[in-house]
């Protein structure tokens, strides 16, 4: 049997695979955006240094809350990715080709 025959899938399976790839791309984009935001807030906190004024303390508190929220979103995103992709892969059942005699 040719390897090309082994890799042949029907339109439904192609659509499911494409959906998985698009979902992965969307999650990757969102994760990259959140990581960038996290990096920006961490850099801002480092730039403040020693907090002396009430404004600096307030700003630092706000930045720390943003960091906490972003980290929570990243964890949720990773958990959702795992659960959804596991289900999508389970739904994608590629039947083995029937060998002709």
pLDDT tens sequence across 72-91: 999 998 888 888 877 877 77
Q: Output the 3-class SS for the chain.
A: CCHHHHCCCCHHHHHHHHHHHHHHHHHHHHHHHHHHHHHHHHHHHHHHCCCCCHHHHHHHHHHHHHHHHHHHHHHHHHHHHHHHHHHHHHHCCCCCCCCCC
Span 44-61, pLDDT tens digits = 988 887 878 898 889 999
Span 9-35, pLDDT tens digits = 778 878 888 888 898 899 899 999 999
Residue of higher predicted confidence among 82 and 95: 82
Q: How confident is the model at residue 101 (pLDDT cuts 50, 70, 90)?
A: very low
């Amino acid at each position: 049997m040719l390897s090309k025959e082994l890799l042949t899938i029907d339109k439904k399976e192609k659509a499911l695979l494409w959906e998985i790839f698009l979902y992965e791309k969307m999650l990757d984009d969102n994760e990259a955006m959140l990581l960038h935001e996290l990096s920006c807030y961490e850099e801002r906190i480092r730039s403040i240094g020693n907090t002396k004024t009430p404004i600096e303390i307030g700003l630092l508190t706000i930045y720390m809350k943003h960091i906490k929220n972003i980290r929570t979103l990243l964890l949720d995103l990773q958990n959702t990715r795992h659960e959804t992709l596991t289900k999508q892969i389970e739904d994608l059942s590629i039947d083995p080709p029937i060998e002709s005699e």
